[in-house]
Structure 1
Amino acid sequence: MNTELVVASFSGAVALSSVLLSSRFSRKQTLLAAQLERQGAEQLKLAEHQDLMSQRRDPLLWAAYDFQSRLFNIVDREFLNLYYAHGHERDRAYALRSTLHVAADYFGQVELLRRKIQFLDLGNRESSRTVVRHLTAISNVLNSDGYDDPHFRVFRSNQRALGELVISNSNDRCLVLQQYFAS
């Protein structure tokens, strides 16, 4: 065999091997890049979920705390009765208005969260279901007819309507009832 033919055959085999290895590594690199992109998208989705939940969670927790505190004061400490029996007209008006504001703030925060949960995949669906179960339980208690005083009953549709009334559509936040407190 001719030396030139051997060298050319060897060079061709090396070139072919090089192309095959290059192709194989290129495919692995493409698969790895796709996997990294999927992981990045999942991390972004998780970050968006956490951001949404923190945007909605903190105001809802404060509103729920204020609402619970006010209900406790009304029931156990006769908050409204004290103001109506012994308070000045200005104090009575404040007690009523602030109670309405606390309730409206809670209903507004719940409505905002309900709107967001309805249209978004929140990642961990079990935690979302848990939140919805708790909010439903609270709604059921407020809707119950088991109270001596029917003034404490708020029907579900009224709970949602109150929540919608205090939501500012421009910035997706609950409005402060400033005009109500101004009088």
Structure 2
Amino acid sequence: MSQQVTVTLLSGAVAAIVSGGIAVYGQLLAAKKAHRRSKQDALEDVVRRFREPIAAASFELQSRLWNVVRGGLLEAYIVNGSDEEAEYCRSSFAWLTCTYLGWVEALRHELEHLDLGDVARNAELQRTLLAVRHGFRTDHPDISCPLRIFSADQRAIGEIMRSDGGSCLGYATFCARLGSPEFERWVSPLVRDVEFMAGHPEERSRLSLLQNRLVDLLDLLDPEFERYPADERTRLG
């Protein structure tokens, strides 16, 4: 066999190997992209289902926190209000807090079954949710103690707030269960904290921290202010 023929055969073999390698690489790359799209689609489906209830819970809670810090709500309803007004203020504050934790726990339960580690939007959502969680649990000396809820307790409250239909307990059902042993362990500390803060306005720094982080979450879930206007989610200073 001549040298020219040998070179030609070798060149053809190398070209075939390179071509085959490129084809395999292309298939692997396409499969990887398809897998990433599949994970992204799965995340979008979960976020689509939970966006509105979590946004609504975040909006209502941050609004209540703003009204306590700036609007004199506790002074009006607990310090100077009737017994009925005081009871409403305590129980509704606890319900709004527990409802937020209930929806976050429901979302966490859905996301833990998905492999979403490298999906950028999931990372952003998780960082924002973790910031709120940290706002509840932090024991930093500059942050007041009332409304401190440790991470495991946040999840426990989320669990008891889940209803059979996959939603969170409504206000009437929540109030009916307030005296039950199931709720006493987790919810009574919140009610006591609201009562305590009514007489100690200097012990409300955690509320400002939480309100700001809930607004961060709203900005992520409703960036165009389609459902929740900018002037109704003003940050506390």
Query: Above 0.5 in TM-score?
Result: yes
Residue 147 of structure 2 is aligned with which of 147, 152, 155? 152
* Aligned-pair CA distance for 1:117: 0.8
Contact kept, 8 Å, 1:49 with 1:123, in 2: the verdict is no
Residue 78 of structure 1 is aligned with which of 44, 56, 72? 72
- Structure 2 residue 114 is the aligned partner of structure 1 residue 120: yes
Matches within 5 A, 1:90-101: 90-101=84-95
Counterpart CA distance in 2 for 1:81 and 1:154 is 23
User: Under a length normalisation based on structure 2, what TM-score does the superposition of the two structures give?
Assistant: 0.53
User: After superposition, what is the alpha-carbon deviation per residue over 1:39-65, rounded to whole angstroms, capped at 9, x for unaligned?
Assistant: 7x9877765543321111110011011
User: After superposition, what is the alpha-carbon deviation per residue over 1:135-172, rounded to whole angstroms, capped at 9, x for unaligned?
Assistant: 1111111112246642221111111111111012x332
Match of 1:53 in 2: 47
Task: Tell me which structure has the larger Cα radius of gyration.
Answer: 1
As a proportion of its length, which structure holds more helix? 1
SS of residue in 1 equivalent to 2:112: helix
The letter for the 2-side match of 1:144 is: T
Question: How many residues end up aligned between the 2 structures?
Answer: 145
Counterpart CA distance in 1 for 2:118 and 2:143 is 40
Counterpart CA distance in 1 for 2:105 and 2:50 is 10
Contact kept, 8 Å, 2:102 with 2:159, in 1: the verdict is yes
Match of 1:162 in 2: 157
Contact kept, 8 Å, 1:83 with 1:91, in 2: the verdict is yes
Asked which structure has the greater RCO (Cα within 8 Å, sep 6+), the reply is 2
Contact kept, 8 Å, 2:117 with 2:123, in 1: the verdict is no
SS of residue in 2 equivalent to 1:65: helix
Moved over 3 A (4+): 41-49, 121-124, 146-149, 179-183
Alignment root-mean-square deviation, CA: 2.7
Match of 1:141 in 2: 135
Counterpart CA distance in 1 for 2:68 and 2:142 is 14
Measured at CA, do residues 150 and 42 of structure 1 come closer, stay the same or move farther in structure 2, by a change above 3 Å?
Answer: closer
User: Under a length normalisation based on structure 1, what TM-score does the superposition of the two structures give?
Assistant: 0.68
